[in-house]
Structure 1
Amino acid sequence: MRAAAEHSACNLDGERIRMHIEPFGVEIWMNEWETRCTWNLAETCVESLTIRELLTLAGRNDTDLSEVLSMKMTYGAIEGSDRLRAAISALYDSQPAQNIIVTHGTIGANMLVHKAMVSAGDHVVAIVPTYQQHYSIPASIGADVQTLTLKEENGFLPDLDELRAMVTPKTRLIAMNNPNNPTGALIDRPMLEEIAEIARASGAWILCDEVYRGTDQEGSGMTASIADVYERGIGTAGMSKAFSLAGLRLGWIAAPPEVIEAVSIHRDYDTISVGMIDDHFAAIALEHREAVLARSQAITRENLATLDEWVAGEPLISWVRPRSGTTALLKLHLPVSSRDFCIDLVKETGVLFTPGSALGMEGYVRIGYANNPTILREGLARVSEALAR
């Protein structure tokens, strides 16, 4: 286990100030185990694309790789190329390119928003479970972080009366993610509008991590963005999950100009620009997003049907069936901690889950079901054998 990180600084009176941040539970778990498993059912990205597969989806071929040969490896466009930001803008109903800034993955986007928009003493409401950034980073800044816990009996959707009671005139930010990781719950546009109304009454900003946007189980698959719903909505996303291109390490922020300006000040210190090659291939993928997302939706919808059938046949497992995303929480009806269960499982069968304890949800494990269908089926078969024993 890693100890919490602390960084020292001094104020003008020479008093030492310590900034404390909690160890990142999920990332520590993945770093420890994902290279030691055979059947990775903890993976959260839709089955990753090769560059050749991306070019094929875009109607191109290997000869198009020649485009990168003449690229001079400068920093490139600082905020992201005009081409890329235009392609990102097309994912939204009302976000022009000037409301977009490109970042090092969604993880970089989230970090920049918290650093730019939250100060010590601010009141932040984080809807959990969620990606740990959304409560540990503001807490490390010195914010007063209050958490609203999603409940299974509500389908892992937020209790709006509870949220309304938490949000006060002092609330600076509401942090959430939609579609939700790890539950797969989906807040539809009417509920997003209700959440926006709660925030509007206090003047709070809403940061919505939308990295799984595009993987809804029904319809077009495209969740409404908070940036299009609320005038103080900040949407973050990236190429990793729905677009199957985690290796590009490219994300973005969609937000009002004042947020982009505030973020840019912080971004100058830790980003400068993303890689030109990453920018190039992300633009190709987004310009052909219909084909890329159709592939992702075919995988997630087929695999969720497989997982649904498997859960129905396992008396020691129950769940709330996801409506979007690539992950689900499986409830364990076993007298064992989630961490012990996951360690025993990977050692015995080679199958990797993520323990709920790494997500603040003891009694559950998280499964990622958007990988290669063969890996999912083979992994589940081995879990069934272990449960039977």
Structure 2
Amino acid sequence: MRIKDFAVEQWMNTWETRCRFNVAETCCDSLSIDDLFELGGASASEFLGELAGRRLTYGHIEGSPEFLSGVCSLYRTVGPEHVVPTHGAAGANMLVLSTLCGPGDHVVAVMPTYQQLYSIPEMCGAEVSALHLDPADRYHVDVDRLMALCRPDTSVICINNPNNPTGALLSTEELESIVEVARSVGAWLVCDEVYRPLNAAGEYQESVADLYGRAVCTSSMSKAWSLAGIRLGWVVCKDDDLRRRLLSHRDYDLISCSMLDEAVGAFALAHKDALIERSRRIVRDNRAVLMDWVAGEEHLSVVEPEGGTTALVYYDYPMDSYEFCTRLVQEEGALVTPGDCFEEPRSMRIGYAYSADPSGLREGLEAVSRFCRTVEGELQAGVRA
């Protein structure tokens, strides 16, 4: 099978260890083990000492009871029998979409979104119809347009809530309307919910796993939980036959997740209130910094993100986004993600939660501003010439 290059990941692979300001980072400021246990009010040394005595077996193939219980606590109606642990949300999306999609299938996927949600179905031979989200609608799903794209043979609808890269957040009512579209054609509703705990209101955000029997949700310990380094995610699926198929596929490329990662993940979710309070504070404070900065830049515009940690910021300079972002990191050390990675020209994805201290974000944004002044100077010189 052939698959398109994964544009955003290849961009990050190239630059994220070579920049001064990682304004492309999409995780809330990452935690160390010491940070995690301080937040949880427990002893890291005791925990690590207990881990050091464990035999390094495969562990619980279908997930440790403690980790599964922690995941279930994030939903209203999900039990351990509905959860399949994976290597991150990337592993979860690959597992789900490669299991559900094949030649002859019809898939509807929102765009812009994380590229896995449309490129994996294409790799598997499915026909993919794109539902292009409109900034005039704040990048929310237009249910009438979604219905128009669906067919009697549509097998999968892919959405992302909150949306990456735009930060659009679908309400419970909007999710219920999307569920009705999926139900009307008998489609699976796949929702990447990796940013779900993060929204502007700081409230519980509904999951489609609790709204629809044929919903399949993916998430991870990375974005909201600041623990990307443990590479731990999950699938939530209430359909017994599909869960069996997911586990069968998983046997070929995963077998089980790391027992060490699951132990850390279980501890984090056992103390989820402290972690999510921290992440929501970071997002709230830094979003205000981002919006003030955009308001002060006459050549930039953005639809204010309602959830997650990312925003899609547009510029009006006559410059390709790869050129803009490459020169930016080379000349000012600030890394952002080209909008063309999401098929959105003349824009950049900014990750605004990468620093727990808003001053860290301000420094990165000031570097972007300096580059904007450079571009404007070059354009003015070109006009005069």
TM-score band by shorter chain is over 0.9
Residue 119 (structure 1) shift: 1.7
Matching residue of 1:290: 273
Q: Tell whether the 8 Å contact from 1:239 to 1:246 is kept in structure 2 after alignment.
A: yes
Q: Tell whether the 8 Å contact from 1:176 to 1:209 is kept in structure 2 after alignment.
A: yes
Residue 214 (structure 1) shift: 0.7
Q: Give the whole-Å Cα distance in 2 for the aligned partners of 1:62 and 1:167.
A: 51
Q: Write the mapping of 1:304-323 to structure 2, written as runs, cut at 5 A.
A: 304-323=287-306
Q: Tell whether the 8 Å contact from 1:101 to 1:252 is kept in structure 2 after alignment.
A: yes
When the two chains are superposed, the root-mean-square deviation of aligned CA atoms in Å is 0.9
Runs of 4+ aligned residues of structure 1 deviating over 3 Å after TM superposition are none
Residue 180 (structure 1) shift: 0.3
Q: Give the whole-Å Cα distance in 2 for the aligned partners of 1:259 and 1:375.
A: 44
Matching residue of 1:232: 214
TM-score normalised by L of structure 2 = 0.95
Matching residue of 2:152: 169
| Unmatched 5+ stretches in structure 2 | 375-385
Q: Deviations over 1:201-237 (max 9, x none)?
A: 01000000000111101032x3211111111111100
| Unmatched 5+ stretches in structure 1 | 1-18
Q: Tell whether the 8 Å contact from 1:120 to 1:142 is kept in structure 2 after alignment.
A: yes
Q: Give the whole-Å Cα distance in 2 for the aligned partners of 1:154 and 1:160.
A: 12
Q: Tell whether the 8 Å contact from 1:114 to 1:138 is kept in structure 2 after alignment.
A: yes
TM-score normalised by L of structure 1 = 0.94
Secondary structure (helix, strand or coil) at the match of 1:377 reads helix
Residue 364 (structure 1) shift: 1.0
Q: Give the whole-Å Cα distance in 2 for the aligned partners of 1:118 and 1:305.
A: 40
Q: Give the whole-Å Cα distance in 1 for the aligned partners of 2:97 and 2:368.
A: 39
Q: Give the whole-Å Cα distance in 1 for the aligned partners of 2:354 and 2:13.
A: 18
Q: Tell whether the 8 Å contact from 2:202 to 2:280 is kept in structure 1 after alignment.
A: no
Matching residue of 2:35: 53
**Match for 2:16: what amino acid?**
E
Matching residue of 1:280: 263
Q: Write the mapping of 1:130-141 to structure 2, written as runs, cut at 5 A.
A: 130-141=113-124
Q: Give the whole-Å Cα distance in 2 for the aligned partners of 1:345 and 1:50.
A: 29
Determine whether 1:366 maps to 2:349: yes
Secondary structure (helix, strand or coil) at the match of 1:253 reads strand
Matching residue of 2:377: none
Equivalenced residue count is: 370
Q: Tell whether the 8 Å contact from 1:106 to 1:252 is kept in structure 2 after alignment.
A: yes
Out of 56, 73, 93, which is 2:76 matched to? 93
- Identity rate, percent: 47
Q: Give the whole-Å Cα distance in 1 for the aligned partners of 2:362 and 2:194.
A: 25
**Match for 1:24: what amino acid?**
F
Matching residue of 1:341: 324
Matching residue of 1:350: 333
Determine whether 1:324 maps to 2:282: no
Q: Deviations over 1:162-193 (max 9, x none)?
A: 10101111000001110000000001110000
**Match for 2:11: what amino acid?**
W
Q: Tell whether the 8 Å contact from 1:317 to 1:331 is kept in structure 2 after alignment.
A: yes
Matching residue of 1:383: 368
Matching residue of 1:203: 186
Q: Deviations over 1:226-277 (max 9, x none)?
A: 1111111111000000000000000001111222111001000001011111
**Match for 2:283: what amino acid?**
T
Q: Tell whether the 8 Å contact from 1:178 to 1:213 is kept in structure 2 after alignment.
A: yes
Matching residue of 2:88: 105
Residue 66 (structure 1) shift: 1.5
Secondary structure (helix, strand or coil) at the match of 2:131 reads strand
Matching residue of 1:192: 175
Q: Tell whether the 8 Å contact from 1:99 to 1:260 is kept in structure 2 after alignment.
A: yes
Q: Tell whether the 8 Å contact from 1:179 to 1:223 is kept in structure 2 after alignment.
A: no
Matching residue of 2:380: none
Matching residue of 1:158: 141
**Match for 1:60: what amino acid?**
A
Secondary structure (helix, strand or coil) at the match of 1:247 reads helix
Q: Deviations over 1:290-324 (max 9, x none)?
A: 00000000001000001111111000100000000
Q: Give the whole-Å Cα distance in 1 for the aligned partners of 2:167 and 2:85.
A: 26
